[in-house]
Amino acid sequence: MTKPLLIIDDDTRLTAVLKRRFIATGNYSVTTFTKASSALAAPTQPCYAILLDMMIDDELGLEFISALKERYQPQHLIIMTGYASIATTVTAMKRGATDYLAKPASFNELISKLEGQPATTTVENKPLTAAQAEWEHIQRILAEHDGNISRTAEALGMHRRSLQRKLQKHSPTKK
């Protein structure tokens, strides 16, 4: 019997690849949505797990965690994001996500999270770079101000446009 999986992501190429790979395992059936609001409007169906993108066009995936969990009652709800930060990880977990993965996440990493197996790769514990520390700080202050750019910029003592430019850049990665 296959496990029903929902993938909610606006990146249609990524969604198509993930769908194809999950189905190829023979263990999953996959339904995809490009918006969390569309998934909530769809007829209820059995659901083993939900893979939810954090930034979906004009929607913030974090805001839909509780509603998706209530409607579908999945065993796993995994947030996937290209904008990983400690602040958003904490927020996601508080709202009911079972896991949080930074994109690009490998398919094996997704499978191991869904199957409850330890990850096959080891993570080195390196100190944060200055850019990473700044990114984490910005994300924490942004979360404290409920995503309000103007209030966050004021709290950080910078111009709103400067903050927007920093946020448009990808988060610095650990090397």
Minimal CA–CA distance to 48: which of 91, 117, 111, 108? 111
Chain-centre distance for alpha carbon 2? 24
pLDDT at residue 62 is higher than 90: no
Q: Quote the mean pLDDT of the chain.
A: 84
pTM (global) more than 0.75: no
Domains delineated in the chain = 3-115 (3.40.50.2300), 130-168 (1.10.10.60)
What does the alpha-carbon distance between residue 50 and residue 3 come to, in Å, rounded to a whole number? 11
What does the alpha-carbon distance between residue 30 and residue 7 come to, in Å, rounded to a whole number? 7
Question: For residue 86, what pLDDT is reported?
Answer: 82
What does the alpha-carbon distance between residue 10 and residue 53 come to, in Å, rounded to a whole number? 8
**Per residue in 86-103, pLDDT tens?**
888 888 899 999 998 888
Sign of the alpha-carbon dihedral angle for 134, 103, 152, 165: positive
- Number of Cα atoms under 13 Å in the Cβ half of residue 22: 27
String of DSSP letters for 27-71: SEEEEEESSHHHHHHSPP---SEEEEESEETTEEGGGGHHHHHHH
**Per residue in 9-26, pLDDT tens?**
988 888 898 999 999 999
Question: For residue 122, what pLDDT is reported?
Answer: 42
Question: For residue 142, what pLDDT is reported?
Answer: 81
Question: For residue 118, what pLDDT is reported?
Answer: 57
Residues 6+ positions from 113 with CB-CB distance below 8 Å: 76, 78, 99, 101, 119
Residues 6+ positions from 1 with CB-CB distance below 8 Å: none
Minimal CA–CA distance to 50: which of 97, 85, 116? 97
